[in-house]
Amino acid sequence: MDLSYAGKSGANRLHRSRPTVAVWDPFIRVFHWLLVATVTVALLIGLLLPRSWVDAHVVAGTSAAVLVAARFVWGFLGPSSARFSSFVRGPRSVLHHVVELGSGAGGRHLGHNPLGAVMIVALLAVVLAIAASGTVALGGVLKSGPLAFATSFAVGTVARQLHALLAYGLLALIALHAAGAIFESRRTGENLVRSMVDGRKEIRSGDAVPFPRTARPITAAAIVAALLTSSTLVLVALANRPALGIPTRPLDAVYAEECGACHVPYHPSLAPAATWQVLMAGLGSHFGEDASLDPGTAQVILAYLTASSADSFDTQAANVFRRRNPDNPLSVTATPFWRQRHQRIPDRVFASSAVAARGNCDACHTDAATGLFRPSAIAIPKDAKL
């Protein structure tokens, strides 16, 4: 990309022919490029890769949030150009700067200009909002993370939608930020990208120079370390609490023995109580076979299935599998959700000896017995991929 700048004489180019001064300190530069990296990874995973990459997405998003938190601390204790007080201005100053730019009379700022400051604050705020909404979504939908103990699936679903909207909003802000850097580089005749690499800018007369401030790195590091330590301890403690809407019932031994003798004993939360009642009432013709049980055993299994059905769970699987296919209400693999999620999987995978059937959930979902079916627990057998 050509960032050359042609002034009135057409002779000015984006190079340094004047003395320079250090503007961006090492922390700001490292923060900037690490944030670019973590946000890029999080966006690529979230928008392009399969759901099984969710753990890597969480790591990238969490890293971005930690970087932003450290940046906020440095914004109060860093050197002049890093401090919010040196570049964050009110609406009037921002509007005045925009008017100046429109008239071609805008001055040059050694640090962030007022319009750039708005973008910086917006980017930091949106990254934190994405991290917050992602944490709520993780807790409500996947029943994982520090908020799983207090977040319902319904709340998590709304948070997931907001998370996606904010991600697209962040993409728009990034595009505007890049466009602004190109525009300002052309306008001032200085490569701003290079400045964020080496931290230096040319010294020019008439520059708006931040008020000199002394950095306090030791204090900042101590605060960041304290925040990270305390927040990690709190988050881990919260994450270890039982998730909301997941009764702690073990798989019933009678159900596992009787039903597991012929097929995978599905977790009871994969169907509502009404479906289990119909299924148990028709064991004499159970998907074309006679699976009749003695009344006592059948009653024990029915009591377990109805008590542990989708009606008493708040997992993603329980919520989506409550919606049955009216033409085949007893089959899990006939439900709209199952079909939608598995439509891109080739028939040969299900026909392979490692999977053997479409309803063999345990073959690919390592946590199928828990009823959670987390994306990160998907592991298609190697033999099935051939």
- Percentage of the residues of the chain whose pLDDT score is greater than 70: 95
Residue 106 pLDDT: 75
Report field, pTM of the whole predicted structure over 0.75: yes
**Backbone torsions φ then ψ of 61, nearest 5 degrees:** -65, -40
Residue 167 pLDDT: 98
Cβ 249 vs Cβ 256: under 8 Å: no
Q: Which residue blocks in 240-335 are alpha helix, DSSP H?
A: 253-260, 273-281, 295-307, 316-321
| pLDDT band at 39; cut points 50, 70, 90 | very high
Task: Reduce the secondary structure of 235-263 to three states and give it as a string.
Answer: HHHHHCCCCCCCCCCCCCHHHHHHHHCCC
Kind of pairing, strands 20-22 and 200-202? antiparallel
**Token pair 């005749």 is at which residue?**
189
Could you say which DSSP state residue 268 is in?
A: G
Give per-residue burial for 326-364: e unless 16+ CB within 10 Å, then b. eeeeebbebbebbeeeeeeeeeebbebeebeebbbbebb
Residue 8 pLDDT: 37
The class (CATH top level) of 20-239 is mainly alpha
Give the number of C-alpha atoms closer than 13 A to the C-alpha of residue 146, restricted to the C-beta side. Answer: 15
| pLDDT band at 385; cut points 50, 70, 90 | low
Stretch among 45-59, 202-216, 249-263, 298-312 having the lowest mean pLDDT: 202-216
- 256-288 pLDDT, tens digit per residue, is 999 888 888 899 999 999 999 999 999 999 888
Domain ranges of the chain: 20-239, 253-385
What mean pLDDT do residues 228-241 have?
Answer: 96
What mean pLDDT do residues 97-109 have?
Answer: 83
